[in-house]
Amino acid sequence: MKKTDTSAINRLNALAANLTQNFNTRTILLTSNSAADAAAFAKKHRLISEIFYADGVPLKSMVRANPGIILLKNGTIVNKWHFHTVPDYDHLAKEYF
């Protein structure tokens, strides 16, 4: 989490808040950091996401960006994005919700 782009986290948190409010989505922050570090990071950035933990190796295989986004529906990957290319709210709402 020390190497995470914090401005991207703040933008993604705002996007997650809008999607959660309007489409009842669930957002999860998946990290290999310790629970204490993750909780401090979530508090500092006022994240709305739940925090889950994974080993770093499979996490790096799943998503290659920090932060990276994976959109799942019923356990199936719908799409993945690097934080630079995440679509805006309107595009996500129209295309995926």
Domain ranges of the chain: 6-84
The tokens describing 21, both together, are: 């409010």
Q: Would you say residue 2 has pLDDT above 90?
A: no
pLDDT tens by residue, 28-80: 999 999 999 999 999 999 999 999 999 988 888 888 888 899 999 999 999 99
pLDDT at site 60: 86
Within 34-88, residue ranges assigned H as helices are 35-45, 56-62
Residue 3 banded pLDDT, cuts 50, 70, 90 = confident
Helices (H) and strands (E) in the chain, counts: 4, 4
pLDDT at site 90: 96
pTM of the predicted model, to two decimals? Answer: 0.84
Q: Which is nearest to 10 in space by CA: 50, 42, 56?
A: 42
